[in-house]
Chains A and B, each alone.
Chain A
Amino acid sequence: MSAPSELLNVQIDGIWHQFQKGTRVIEACAQAGKFVPHYCYHPKLSSPGNCRMCLIEIGMPKLGPDRKPETGTDGKPLINWIPRPQISCAQDISEGMGIRTESPMVKECRNGVMEFLLINHPLDCPICDQAGECQLQEYSVEFGTAGSRFLEEKVKKPKRVEIGPRVTLDDERCILCSRCIRFMKEVAHDDVLGFVSRGSHTYLTAHPDRLLDSNYSLNTVDICPVGALTSSDFRFKMRVWFLKETKSICTSCATGCNTIIGTRQNQVFRQTPRENDAVNSAWMCDYGRLNYHYVNSTDRLQTPQIREGQELVNTTWNSALVKAGEELKQFSKDGIAVVASAKMTNEELWLTKNLTELVGTSHCDIIPRSGAADDILMSADRNPNTLGAQLIGLTGEKPGLRLKDIAEGVRSGTIKAVLALGEDLTQIGLQADELKKLASLIVLDILPTETTRSATVLLPSSAFCEKRGSMINIKGRLQRLHRATQPPGAARDDWEIVRDLIQKLTGSNGIYLIEDVFKQMTDSIPDMNGLSLSRIGDKGVQLVEETEEAPAAI
């Protein structure tokens, strides 16, 4: 094995650079600021070299009679240029290599490939979902020609193929780059896609009696450089150039895949993975990606409510919070229980922890959530922030261990007041009639449940895409969520609601901004000392050692 620091000299467009040994030619060019257009090449997949868009000129050092490189007047090696263009995606740089990315031959090659890719393409950009983020469009602008010499009929291929439950295929738009095939084989471990037929009549399909139904199928839509594979969920919903993009993380399991939330006019239209090699490479699962529709639901809780007899009636935030404060003050320490959620941010959990300490109860926990893990990204822990809840101390080594006692206490009447944050208490075995018996049931949530219907005070809060804050994934990585949309109606950010509850019990607590919460939290949790929200950055920071449960690296 070569030393990691081994640097090789490579000439790119006349200028000598140094690159790490093992660097792909196309990557070296990118590092030198010379972008080489490409379709089939994807840094996370194998290189088939089939699109021919990345053709460049390559040369090797000219060897003298002594088999040693000859040098020019500048002391640099002379280069023997290979007469035929070479692809830059499938080979590594070597010492003394010469590369030309802007020569007339290279330009001619790019023009030629662009023309070939377009002659049988339907050119249906006006109705294509990929328009606006299509590499065929982008490279046409840069490397294409305005006119077409093609006078023939185009090749006809299958259109609107439901190749899987979540993906729609248009074979006429496909440029046969094989990214999707390679992704399914190499990353999703479900070798379900392939080409059939031959030549220009080649088309993509799923194998007989199979569907593209993997939980990772929508990644093929992301990496499809054209509009061949489109998301059946997103298709025809919104032109991509109208989407506001917000960096965030997926909250559907403990992996915490980095995402971009695409929104317009306060509505979420899609989530796509954001590359982070420490977490999710460039992928995310379909389950997490599509698990956002509930935030757009018309059932969203929008107004604070208080119970008046059998009825929950709308009220103002202030009167709801005053009532909640009064109810909490009525009961002694262990007469109160706090059931929080590991879907909450660290900031919310931290304030909730403060609240439990303030009322002096030891009855607090989160509700664990689990499912089948896979060996790709999905974690068995379906809560996104279990580690955060543990670090902050709202739950113990075994999350949910105290829930049985809480449920018992409610039934036996020793617990008279429950604060439920983002969780439905029927999940811990409590029935609606049992919940109704509680003297006080203060509930923060976003959608109606048995628990919200039984509440004495109902405080409408925010979904994952409506809040700022941080979470710790299963590998111990602290990551940020960002607000992509505003919560509906009068619903508020959870951290503000909990802060205001504390204030109703104590008067002012000096917290005005989420940064203040974060500072208090980091000051008192040693693992977080010295951090700030801005310092976490877009790709997170590693807080604690990776646990054994972490999914296999991709």
Chain B
Amino acid sequence: MASTTRTAHPREKRVIFKNIDRPGWTNDIGCYLQDGGYEDLKKAIAMNPQDIVTEVKTSALRGRGGAGFLCGVKWGFIKPGGSKPVYLICNADESEPGTFKDRYIIHQDPHQLLEGMIISCFAVNARLAYIYIRGEFPEGAKILERALAEAREHGFLGKNILGSGFDLEIYVFRGAGAYICGEETGLIESMEGKRPYPRIKPPYFPAVLGLYLCPTIVNNVETLCNVKYIVRMGGAEYAKVGTRVLCVSGDVQRPCYCEFEVGGITMGELIYDICGGLKPGRTLKAVIPGGSSAKVMSAKDRYKIKTKQPDGTIRENEMGLEDVPIDFETLAAAGSMAGSGGVIVMDDTRDMVWALNNINEFYAHESCGQCTPCREGSLWMKKITARMLHGGGVPEDSDTLKRVADNIAGRTICAFGEACAWPTQSFLDKFPEEFVATAKRMGNGNGSTNH
């Protein structure tokens, strides 16, 4: 955890992370209330729940967990007046390598999350909600338990919240340590006491068939926090000024978390202005912009990005990686994704085969094993890159790696298939010569290996 506090960079616009590392700030409810906490809940609870849903739709808030799905559309799948109870689950299973934002919200500002959650539950008429927190966050679970007790004492939870007639209970559910539990249907299976095997689609959304076969909304921690500000400023205003938390790690002088207006900063500004630049004498080689499963972007490439001009016209700009603004559409247009906001920076000293093997190890370890392509393919890819690194490379390795990845992506039950295939596909696409060189340099030609 953050042992030293750090102040926000002047270029940042801290909204969700306003209270993170704030001098004098504590995570108890008294501090939160003094700062105007739960005022947005009071405003929301006087509103028509459907109007809140409409505001969230207008805000174009995108999910902060990785997929970037429109939150309002997801909520819209809940049909008012259904006969089954609606559940809301906060996905706090933050596990994507390179991503470390939700834990700070939970540790330092838990009431912000609870307020956002209570408003969201009111909007979708959920009377029972859960925070699914990953098993590796025991401290976070304790903090949330205490925050929930405080909220209950103050009448923000329980029966007849703030005299509105709305009842809500929120419970903390601790996971047992599996990346796949962050996949919303795997998460639900896990809560039902089963192996966290993601469910087959269709139905595509738990809002149709979720926890205990009831309509269920699963939202990321940061996403739920944003709802509070949408209620405060209105969906239309939020759409203009909404922010995004980024987590920067890797080869920068000052790895950090920071918050900017969506699209309000370029990759270069983030690396050089906010994170103190690269280590002396190094040059930028690549960036994984949205958590380890996002496709890697090469500093050598030119990106053709269409941007909307102030006069409303669309203009196509060709730019280098450092000039690419960090927002959902631009990163998608550049062939990668904003994902979970985990920006991993790599300088020219990085061996890309080593880097890919590091990622492959993670996904091979975390594949749940339910469906064939991911189960067998993720381990295969890891074994190939590990063999290459240990001197057993053969000329066919690049081709085999690519074809294995191609046979996974798009053919699995859940998005883990893409998550584990995209790194391999993109590393091979962007840095093919390094794979060929590794196979040649270290290979003994027969491919045999004993590890």
Contacts and interface: CB of A to CB of B under 8 A. Distances in A.
Nearest to B180: A198
Interface string A346-367: 0000000000000000000000
Contacts of B239: none
Contacts of B375: 116, 176, 199-200, 202
Contact of B413 (A49, A194, A202): A49
B376 A117 contact: yes
Interface string A72-110: 000000000000110100110000000000000000110
Which of B364, B372, B396, B448 neighbours the largest number of chain A CB atoms within 10 Å of its CB? B372
A199 B371 contact: no
A155 interface: yes
B410 A85 contact: yes
A85 B371 CA distance: 14
B379 A149 contact: no
B376 A152 contact: no
Contacts, number: 106
B364 A112 contact: no
B178 A112 contact: no
Nearest to B397: A151
A201 interface: yes
Nearest to A203: B369
B195 interface: yes
A93 B373 CA distance: 25
Nearest to A150: B380
A112 B410 contact: no
A202 B387 CA distance: 22
B412 interface: yes
B436 interface: no
Contact of B411 (A90, A109, A176, A197): A109
Given A52-B411, A87-B200, A176-B369, A198 B178 contact: yes
A193 interface: no
A478 B19 CA distance: 80
A177 B369 CA distance: 11
Contacts of A397: none
A442 to B, nearest CB: 63
A288 to B, nearest CB: 33
Contacts of B371: 49-52
B11 to A, nearest CB: 40
B447 interface: yes
B182 interface: no
B413 A152 contact: no
B200 A152 contact: no
A323 B168 CA distance: 91
A153 interface: yes
B387 A151 contact: yes
A48 interface: yes
B449 A153 contact: yes
B410 A116 contact: no
B373 A116 contact: yes
Contacts of B370: 48, 50, 176
Contacts of B448: 151
A200 B367 contact: yes
Contacts of B178: 198
Nearest to A152: B383
Contacts of B24: none
B367 A198 contact: yes
A152 B384 contact: yes
A199 B364 contact: yes
16 contacts: A48-B197, A52-B411, A84-B411, A113-B373, A150-B380, A151-B448, A153-B449, A176-B370, A197-B369, A198-B369, A199-B366, A199-B375, A199-B378, A200-B375, A200-B376, A200-B379
5 shortest A-B CB distances, which residue pairs?
A112-B407, A202-B369, A116-B376, A49-B200, A152-B383
Given A153-B449, A198-B178, A199-B367, 18 more contacts: A47-B200, A49-B200, A52-B373, A85-B411, A109-B411, A112-B406, A113-B373, A113-B407, A116-B375, A116-B376, A119-B380, A149-B400, A151-B384, A152-B383, A153-B383, A155-B379, A200-B378, A202-B375
